[in-house]
Amino acid sequence: MRRACLLIGLIVFILGCGNQNEHLAKGKELIKSDKRRKEERAVREFKLAIDIENNNAEAHYLLGFYDSQEYYDINQSDWNNASIAKRGQHMYKAYQEDPSEYLEILIFDTLRDDDVNVQNAALEALTLVYQQGDRKQLLKQLEKAIKSNDNRDRHDAHWVMANIGKSDPSTIVPLLIELLKHKQMGTRLNVVKALGEIGSEDAIPVLATIIDSGSAKRQSDREEPEVRQLAVAALGKIGGKAVPELVKITQNKGSSLRVDAIRALSTLGDEKAVQPLLDALEEKSSREVVVNFQN
Amino acid sequence: MHRYIPIILYFVSLLLILGCENTYYDDYTKMEVQQLDKDLENRWSTSGVIVKNVTQNGPANKADLLEGELISYIIGEYPINSSADFKRAIKKAIAKDNNLLLYIKEKPPIRIAIRQMGDKVGIEVDDKNTVQIKHIIPGTPASNNPDIKVGDIIDKIEDERKIFSLSDYKDSITEFAKMNTEVKFRTSELIGVKIASITALGNLGDARAVNPLIDILENNPELSLRKSAVKSLEKLVILSGLNPLFTIYREQNVNQLPVDSLDLKLRESAEILGLIMIDPIAKTATLEAPFGIQFRRRSDQLYKQVNDGELVEVAEKHIQLSTEPDQEIRRACLSIIGILKPETSIQPLINVLIDNNEIPGIRFQAGLGLSRIGNPSVDSLILVYHEADDAGKDIIVSSLGTIGGQIARDFLIKTLESTDDPAIQLTLVDAIAKIGDRPSLIALERQRDRFQEDDSAIRIFLDEVFNSLSLHNTNETPN
């Protein structure tokens, strides 16, 4: 009798599970189909799947991925629920349910999507991971992405790191500075970009060192021109205490980055740039000079 | 053999390290030169070495060579005292770049270029007392130059060497120093740096930039610099126009004000130029840091500098085709005058407007400038109407219509009633309709009666004018 009850219970459980996933399966099928308004209809199914099984990681992820405010009237409550923040929360919930799988999906797949809203929702989710989830694992994956051979991964990682770094520069900036030693130029390029976007003045010395390396005596000590050029642009984004560094570049007459520095100063609009720029105008024009060795 | 390996390695690494050096102290001229950044070499077709340090009282210092100058050419001389000197000099001078400068007594220097290494220059010389041309080989570069003649006395040969790297510099200076007591350097200007500086100075809105920019516009031989300078001056004039807005911030000593307390047009310009940030929800206009906050302090100075008269005088000069051949500069100067609206510019603007050698767009812009000056321009516009060509008449009528007022209106009506030229009639109707007061409408009614039986363009246009006026009135009547 006891065995029979257990068997019946198991059958009910299996059937129940089948019912719970039915909406999810239907939603996924709709996405694959070429039906009209397939995403909008799939979203309805994902919502039902979550209603039945609130901890279904896949349903949360897919809802975060496909939901859109375009499907609702602005007065509907669903309109608010389809905001980027809410979609990010669904993606984060998927991560909570299955951290190892969804962390990788978010970084290496979702961020790569063509839809900016999907990218922004993934950023929201990853920011939540940083704030509430396994921060160490997240940073490890982001490091892996920024060191990747694929430019899209490097770009996405720089974007996430820059955004997280804006609210927590004391953790992210040192990490990025360490990554500047990486052998791959593409990685260093993205790190420099991220440092500029974070806008932390702590990055100024390291950016200045990169820029100065252009006049290093040995070729091996010189950073690539593209990275140095971006480092100047990064100083321009940081502004404030970076202005004297930009002025210094403007005054280095052998530097290839003078024009870049002048442009950055022009955008910043800081009056400290005026005198060095006036001095640049005073520089001698083309001329011929006779030098007598016996003088 | 193995025992030599460390020695070989030592020399190889020494060579590599020396090869990678990017500075060189030149003992002949007593200055240190620096290789250009590799990435700079491909920008703006630049090449050469930069003067890094000049030793006090050394030859370079005495010749006034300055730190930061870019040496693009080294020019050395080969004195010619014998036919052997001549042969050697020719060989050396063409060795690097296939060309040389030949100096013949009492003639200007002649540049000779051969097509490829091994080709002959084509001059044979005799050396009795002087080195004289005895034969010119037919079919050579020398034979193609009519200035080179048998019997000419050769003075010297000059070798211009373009410098691409530090080693080019080292080789050339060493070679020339062995033969001569002096050498000539040709320096190049980094135009890109100057253009960027000029543009930045325009954006920064500082009064100190006004006079140096005027100086470039007036005196610099480089057109690209003059164009950049005038555009930056235009930008400074626009920024100076924001002074009334920044005066409010300055007087109240605040960085934030309610949006409604500020002039709409000025605050929109300030926002576009990145000086203020408008919060539509909080309805505040906040000065951006650092640009807006710093500009609050110095907008007054810029305003005074821009309006002190010198800039207007320069702009008036450069709107004339006879003084300024570049149309971009003429346009920018017209724009400056259009913003500053000085009455002194009326006559110069009239001169542009009636100049039938000027392009129509610029003449029209001059008319626009006069419209902006407004009433004081009316008499001058009326005065030149009859001596202007058709295009000029059109612009004058249009300007008078924009300015409006009794004198302009009466003149336009009188002209319309006395002209039979259909082209100008249309512009006159349009200008009178633009004034749109009662006497104007009565005058237009009279014209409608005059062309009652006519299906000409003027009649159709008059009907359209009255239709739009009645539509306009219907829209306004409910109150």
Comparing CA positions, the residue from B145, B20, B125, B22 lying closest to residue B81 is B125
Band (pLDDT 50/70/90 cuts) for residue A13 is very low
**Contact across the interface for B203 and A266, Cβ inside 8 Å:** yes
Burial A116-135 (b: 16+ CB within 10 A, else e): ebbbbbbbbbbbbbbeebee
Q: What percent of chain B has pLDDT over 70?
A: 91
On the question of pLDDT at B227 being above 70, the answer is yes
B78 vs B347, which has greater pLDDT? B347
ipTM: 0.76
Chain B positions in Cβ-Cβ contact with residue A217 (cut-off 8 Å): 20-23
The predicted model gives B437-463 an average pLDDT of: 83
Chain B, nearest residue to A286 by Cα: B188
Band (pLDDT 50/70/90 cuts) for residue B136 is very high
- Interface residue B291 vs chain A (CB under 8 A): yes
What is chain B's mean pLDDT, rounded?
A: 89
- Interface residue B271 vs chain A (CB under 8 A): no
Interface of B with A in 303-322 (CB under 8 A): none
On the question of pLDDT at B479 being above 50, the answer is no
The predicted model gives B212-234 an average pLDDT of: 95
**DSSP E strand boundaries for B13-130:** 23-26, 31-35, 49-54, 70-79, 99-104, 110-113, 123-127
pLDDT tens column, B322-375: 999 999 999 999 999 999 999 999 999 999 999 999 999 999 999 999 999 999
Interface of B with A in 32-51 (CB under 8 A): 34-40, 43, 50
- Interface residue B228 vs chain A (CB under 8 A): no
**Contact across the interface for A293 and B181, Cβ inside 8 Å:** yes
Task: List residues bridging with B131 in a β-sheet.
Answer: B127
Chain B positions in Cβ-Cβ contact with residue A221 (cut-off 8 Å): none
Task: List residues bridging with B182 in a β-sheet.
Answer: A292
Question: Distance between CA atoms of B75 and A150, rounded to whole angstroms?
Answer: 51
Among A291, A292, A294, A295, the residue to mutate for chain B (most B Cβ within 10 A): A291
Question: Distance between CA atoms of A93 and A293, rounded to whole angstroms?
Answer: 79
pTM above 0.80, yes or no: no
pLDDT tens column, B138-193: 989 888 888 999 989 999 999 999 898 899 999 999 989 988 889 999 988 778 88
Chain A, nearest residue to B58 by Cα: A295
The predicted model gives A62-91 an average pLDDT of: 95
On the question of pLDDT at A283 being above 70, the answer is yes
Q: What is the residue type of B302?
A: L
Question: Distance between CA atoms of B320 and A34, rounded to whole angstroms?
Answer: 67
Interface of A with B in 56-75 (CB under 8 A): none
Report the sign of the C-alpha dihedral through residues B332, B334, B335, B341, in that order: positive
- Interface residue A170 vs chain B (CB under 8 A): no
Question: Distance between CA atoms of A220 and B55, rounded to whole angstroms?
Answer: 30
Max CA pair span of chain A: 119
Chain A, nearest residue to B19 by Cα: A218
- The reported pLDDT for the residue numbered B209 is 97
Task: List residues bridging with B53 in a β-sheet.
Answer: B32
Question: Distance between CA atoms of B169 and B52, rounded to whole angstroms?
Answer: 14
DSSP state of B358: S
Q: What is the residue type of B136?
A: I
pLDDT tens column, B45-77: 567 888 989 999 999 999 999 888 889 899 998
- How many CA atoms within 13 Å lie on the side-chain side of A49? 25
The predicted model gives A235-259 an average pLDDT of: 88
pLDDT tens column, A14-25: 444 444 579 999
- The reported pLDDT for the residue numbered B15 is 46
How far, in whole angstroms, is CA A52 from its chain's centroid?
34
CB pairs under 8 A between A and B: 179
- The reported pLDDT for the residue numbered B93 is 86
- Interface residue A36 vs chain B (CB under 8 A): no
The predicted model gives B13-20 an average pLDDT of: 48
Mapping DSSP to helix (H, G, I), strand (E, B) and coil, where does residue B110 land? strand
- Interface residue B301 vs chain A (CB under 8 A): no
Smallest Cβ–Cβ distance between A253 and the set B17, B68, B194 belongs to B68
pLDDT tens column, A87-134: 999 999 999 999 999 999 999 999 999 999 999 999 999 999 999 999
- Interface residue A148 vs chain B (CB under 8 A): no
CA angle A121, A122, A124 (to 5 degrees): 65
Task: List residues bridging with B78 in a β-sheet.
Answer: B157
- Interface residue A238 vs chain B (CB under 8 A): no
For B404, other C-beta atoms within 10 Å of its C-beta total 21
Q: What percent of chain B has pLDDT over 90?
A: 61
The predicted model gives A256-285 an average pLDDT of: 90
The nearest CA of chain A is from the CA of B157 a distance in Å of: 16
- Interface residue B196 vs chain A (CB under 8 A): yes
